[in-house]
């Protein structure tokens, strides 16, 4: 990095006490660096570049080895100071929401991130050296306010995004790996929820750092925050995730409720992860499951096939939780379920749909709904019949994905809803030939449908069990 003109000597140079730091020299050095990061807008660019150079020189100084050593009064307050420095460095390299000139700004962000990552590597190596040279665990106290900011920076720039470059991703990945090594964690998941039951993880602290940027008015100011939140959330699974439900559910709903399809999909993935990894009892409390259901259901009116696919997968895993309290006692008609409501809407959209990608998406998920409802699929039989015939009549390309999934739906439909038939009644009736078994009728119908429309498929795989 090129120097930006002559500057005053840093306060740690020319110390009057050789071999020992004055009680305020170290604090003054870092305070000056923080002041340079918070300079006036007109001078901020040069001041921040100068601050990076000063910080690099400070970390390379021999006296700086005492940063993580000892616990005397001269180093009191340094952990908080280091946390503030790490926060300033992360903010300096954070991408900004830029509607115009995105390419130039993002390349500049990648360069800044690479420079900041090198500073974080130097700082973490100081911690690693202190671990092996000390008897007392003073380094743990200094690392605590530092680790969260380093993690957020590393995740922000190690993911492949528009503001990253191969170089910035590489050095950010090295920062994350060294952070795990210093904190003695075998994985990111262990870093977040703790390596064992007795150890408290850092997930709560990191969510606290992200919270100011995940409000309704601020979550779009930094485009990286939503990706850091989503990536971090999906690293924490059950049984650890349930205790953080109040922190993770509102941001997930907020992101999924955006007007941009990319954000909707990201939010839906977060909600799906919550459904999979939070116990049903916690989701049913305070009607959280209903809130998630309505958030997902509203996306079914879109025409983006990627979003529809994510929503349907999430709903299929949510149905067992919503219907957990429903028990049919056999004394009346079974109540309609959320699965019925979703299937009815899907079939309504499938009939007139002409876009191939959407048709394939709907057809891909239709068998799962038939399996879920079982015999109750008869409620939708007329509309299902129209959809099946309509989708088999339309050419779907060489792979025939939609047609094959519709045939799988037909097979399941015949298995679950075909009337029961007593095989003992298949003898001669009034001198006539025995009636055809329903399975044979189904096989004839499938063969006629498939071969009549030119679909190449082994129809023996669609045979109906004789017991049905």
CB atoms within 10 A of CB 118: 16
The mean pLDDT value for 440-466 works out to 48
pLDDT exceeds 80 at position 310: yes
Q: Per-residue pLDDT tens for 142-185?
A: 788 889 999 999 999 999 999 999 999 999 999 999 999 998 88
pLDDT class of 325 with cuts at 50, 70, 90: low
In a domain, 177, yes or no: yes
The top-scoring range by mean pLDDT among 33-37, 181-185, 282-286, 332-336 is 282-286
pLDDT exceeds 50 at position 131: yes
- What pLDDT does residue 200 have? 82
- What pLDDT does residue 436 have? 40
Residue indicated by tokens 């340094």: 78
Bigger pLDDT: 73 vs 305: 305
In a domain, 303, yes or no: no
In angstroms, the CA 114 to CA 103 distance is 17
In a domain, 304, yes or no: no
The mean pLDDT value for 128-137 works out to 67
Task: Specify the 3-state DSSP secondary structure of 429.
Answer: strand
CA distances from 96 to 91, 222, 223, 225, 422 (A): 10, 5, 7, 11, 71
Q: Which two tokens stand for residue 406?
A: 């519709």
Q: Per-residue pLDDT tens for 370-381?
A: 999 998 898 998
Count up the domains in the chain and report the number. Answer: 1
pLDDT exceeds 50 at position 403: yes
Half-sphere exposure of 251 (CA within 13 A, CB side): 26
CA distances from 358 to 192, 241, 285, 302 (A): 38, 33, 35, 10
For helices 138-158 and 203-210, give the axis angle rounded to 10 degrees.
Answer: 60
pLDDT class of 4 with cuts at 50, 70, 90: very low
Give DSSP secondary structure letters for 291-340: HHHHHHHGGGG---HHHHHHHHHHHHHHHHHHTTT----SSSPPPP-HHH
In angstroms, the CA 170 to CA 167 distance is 5
Over pLDDT 90: what percentage of the chain? 48
pLDDT class of 14 with cuts at 50, 70, 90: very low
Q: What mean pLDDT is reported for the chain?
A: 80
- What pLDDT does residue 188 have? 94
Bigger pLDDT: 388 vs 22: 388
Q: What's 161's domain CATH number?
A: 1.20.930
The mean pLDDT value for 356-377 works out to 94
In angstroms, the CA 206 to CA 192 distance is 8
In a domain, 92, yes or no: yes
pLDDT class of 275 with cuts at 50, 70, 90: very high
Q: Which two tokens stand for residue 202?
A: 């850092």
The mean pLDDT value for 114-142 works out to 79
- What pLDDT does residue 198 have? 64
- What pLDDT does residue 459 have? 43
The mean pLDDT value for 212-231 works out to 93
Helices (runs of H) and strands (runs of E) counted in the chain: 19, 0
Q: Which of 226, 49, 237, 238 is nearest to 155 (CA)?
A: 226
Task: Specify the 3-state DSSP secondary structure of 279.
Answer: coil
Bigger pLDDT: 235 vs 25: 235
In a domain, 135, yes or no: yes
In a domain, 359, yes or no: no
CA distances from 228 to 251, 331, 406 (A): 12, 51, 39
pLDDT exceeds 60 at position 295: yes
Q: Which of 79, 58, 56 is nearest to 11 (CA)?
A: 58
Domain assignment of residue 132, given as a range: 1-11+22-97+105-184
CA 44 to mean position of chain CA atoms: 35
Dihedral, CA of residue 68, residue 73, residue 79 and residue 85, to nearest 10: -100
Angle among Cα 238, 239, 242 to the nearest 5 degrees reads 85
In a domain, 233, yes or no: no
In a domain, 148, yes or no: yes
């Amino acid at each position: 990095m090129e120097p930006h003109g002559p500057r005053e000597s840093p306060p740690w140079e020319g110390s009057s006490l050789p071999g020992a730091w004055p009680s305020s020299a170290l604090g003054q050095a870092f305070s000056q660096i923080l002041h340079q990061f918070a300079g006036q807008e007109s001078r901020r660019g040069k001041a921040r570049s100068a601050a990076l150079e000063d910080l690099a020189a400070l970390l390379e100084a021999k006296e700086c080895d005492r940063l993580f050593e000892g616990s005397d009064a001269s180093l009191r307050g340094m952990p908080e100071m280091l946390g503030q420095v790490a926060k300033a460095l992360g903010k300096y390299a954070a991408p900004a929401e830029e509607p115009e000139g995105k390419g130039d700004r993002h390349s500049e962000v990648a360069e800044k991130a690479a420079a900041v990552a090198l500073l974080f590597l130097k700082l973490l190596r100081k911690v690693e050296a202190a671990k092996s040279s000390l008897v007392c665990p003073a380094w743990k106290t200094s690392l605590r306010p530092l680790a969260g900011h380093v993690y957020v920076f590393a995740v922000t720039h190690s993911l492949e995004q528009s503001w990253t470059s191969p170089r910035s991703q590489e050095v950010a990945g090295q920062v994350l790996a060294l952070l795990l090594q210093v904190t003695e964690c075998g994985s990111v998941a262990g870093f977040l929820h703790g390596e064992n039951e007795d150890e408290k993880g850092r997930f709560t602290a990191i969510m606290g750092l992200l919270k100011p940027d995940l409000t309704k008015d601020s979550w779009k100011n930094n485009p990286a925050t939503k990706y850091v939140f989503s990536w971090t959330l999906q690293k924490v699974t059950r049984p650890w995730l349930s205790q953080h439900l109040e922190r993770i559910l509102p941001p997930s709903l907020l992101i999924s409720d955006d007007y941009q399809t990319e954000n909707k999909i990201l939010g839906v993935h977060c909600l799906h992860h919550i459904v999979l990894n939070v116990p049903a009892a916690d989701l049913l409390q305070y009607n959280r499951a209903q809130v998630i259901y309505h958030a997902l259901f509203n996306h079914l009116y879109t025409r983006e096939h990627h979003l529809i696919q994510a929503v349907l997968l999430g709903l299929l895993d949510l149905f067992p939780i919503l219907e957990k309290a429903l028990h049919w006692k056999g004394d009346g008609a079974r109540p309609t379920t959320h699965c019925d409501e979703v299937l009815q809407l899907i079939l309504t959209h499938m009939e007139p749909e002409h876009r191939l990608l959407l048709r394939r998406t709907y057809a891909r998920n239709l068998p799962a709904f038939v399996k879920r409802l079982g015999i109750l699929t008869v409620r939708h039989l007329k509309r299902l019949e129209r959809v099946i015939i309509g989708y088999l009549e339309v050419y779907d390309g060489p792979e025939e994905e939609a047609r094959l999934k519709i045939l799988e739906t037909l097979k399941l439909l015949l298995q679950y809803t075909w009337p029961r038939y007593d095989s003992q009644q298949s003898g001669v009736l009034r001198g006539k030939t025995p009636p055809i078994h329903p399975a044979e009728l189904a096989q004839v119908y499938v063969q006629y449908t498939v071969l009549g429309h030119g679909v190449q498929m082994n129809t023996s795989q669609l045979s109906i069990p004789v017991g049905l």
